[in-house]
């Protein structure tokens, strides 16, 4: 599912929401027995791209050492250069506990740090609570909490997380911009080459189609001539089999074909079934204007 969200308050971000690691297939579902391996491979396929920023989502009411997200991110980003920890369910922790050590990175350090967020609950979603109201409730929760209100503001809140993501992504893009440009230019060259192979569109008018056909024939003949002369034309290379080791060039293959035709023609005696009288009569019947003693059969 690709969902595009537009808005004056929306950040310029692309988010890929990957499924959690599913360990046991549900009864009555079409999930296969190796669903765990499939979901893990899918997450790794996206996360291993060095240009991707990884959001490792960790519930605050669970042990960080058992986090699948942190384990996977360390596998593809061992130095933690592009991993941001997102601590959720921070409002569901047991009374008297808090996630301040997690947010400070005391337990599992990350170079880009952690940010705590308070999401809407199932009851809030059923009640139709808007995102705006949820953000206001979140801000109130962190500003009134006896522990979180004393933390640095950048460590908590969805708005701070979005701001942090935007800044990190901007720096990341600047780092990879030369590689991105090379990749884009390479794709442009590849697609342009494929478009050239398709040629121009077929005209609607009959006269225009005839003109296009003659132009294509003339162009093809010119390619053949250039190839025989040894001038490389990449458009013609697709018509010839060069073999796995390169083989002969297109011009050499054309010369072989012409030599075979010439040998076949010279070996064939076209006058074998004609008498001398037939040949003499043909010469006299097709003789053009000429000087006496100098016959010029055309």
Instruction: Please indicate, yes or no, if residue 282 is contained in any of the structural domains.
Output: yes
Instruction: Please indicate, yes or no, if residue 196 is contained in any of the structural domains.
Output: no
Q: Which domain holds residue 268?
A: 208-297
How many alpha carbons fall within 13 Å on the CB side of residue 48? 7
Residue found under tokens 């590849």? 190
What is the average pLDDT across 65-85? 89
Give the pLDDT score at 270: 72
CATH of the domain at 140: 3.40.50.300
Percentage of residues in the chain having pLDDT higher than 90: 25
Q: 60 with 170, same domain?
A: yes
Q: 159 with 83, same domain?
A: yes
Q: 142 with 217, same domain?
A: no
Q: Contact, 250 vs 236, CB < 8 A?
A: yes
Whole-structure pTM over 0.75, yes or no? no
Q: 151 with 79, same domain?
A: yes
Give the pLDDT score at 245: 47
Q: 291 with 164, same domain?
A: no
Instruction: Please indicate, yes or no, if residue 199 is contained in any of the structural domains.
Output: no
Q: 76 with 143, same domain?
A: yes
Instruction: Please indicate, yes or no, if residue 256 is contained in any of the structural domains.
Output: yes
Q: What is the pLDDT of residues 190-244, one digit of tens each?
A: 998 888 777 777 778 888 888 888 988 898 888 878 777 777 666 666 666 555 5
Q: 97 with 149, same domain?
A: yes
Structural domains of the chain, count: 2
- Spell out the residues 6+ positions from residue 135 whose beta carbon is closer than 8 angstroms to its own: 158, 159
């Amino acid at each position: 599912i690709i969902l595009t969200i537009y808005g004056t308050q929306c950040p310029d971000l692309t988010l890929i929401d990957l499924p959690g690691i599913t360990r046991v297939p549900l009864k009555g579902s079409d999930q296969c027995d190796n669903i765990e391996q499939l979901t893990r491979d899918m997450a790794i396929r996206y996360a291993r791209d060095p240009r991707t920023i990884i959001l490792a989502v960790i519930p605050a009411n669970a042990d960080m050492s058992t986090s699948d997200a942190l384990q996977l991110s360390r596998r593809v980003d061992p130095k933690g250069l592009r991993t941001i920890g997102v601590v959720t369910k921070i409002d569901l922790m047991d009374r008297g506990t808090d996630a301040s050590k997690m947010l400070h990175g005391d337990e599992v350090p990350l170079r880009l740090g952690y940010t705590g967020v308070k999401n809407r609950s199932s009851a809030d979603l059923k009640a139709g609570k808007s995102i705006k109201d949820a953000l206001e409730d979140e801000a109130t929760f962190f500003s009134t909490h006896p522990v979180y209100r004393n933390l640095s503001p950048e460590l908590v809140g969805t708005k701070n997380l979005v701001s942090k993501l935007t800044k990190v992504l901007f720096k990341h893009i600047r780092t990879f911009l030369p590689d991105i440009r090379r990749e884009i230019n390479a794709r442009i060259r590849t697609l342009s080459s494929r478009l050239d192979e398709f040629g121009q569109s077929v005209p609607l008018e009959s006269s225009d189609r005839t003109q296009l056909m003659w132009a294509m024939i003339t162009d093809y003949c010119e390619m053949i001539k250039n190839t025989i002369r040894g001038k490389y034309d990449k458009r013609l290379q697709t018509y010839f089999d060069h073999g796995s080791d390169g083989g002969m060039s297109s011009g050499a293959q054309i010369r072989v074909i012409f030599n075979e035709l010439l040998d076949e023609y010279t070996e064939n005696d076209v006058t074998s079934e004609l008498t001398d009288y037939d040949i003499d009569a043909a010469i006299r019947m097709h003789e053009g204007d000429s000087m006496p003693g100098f016959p010029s059969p055309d």
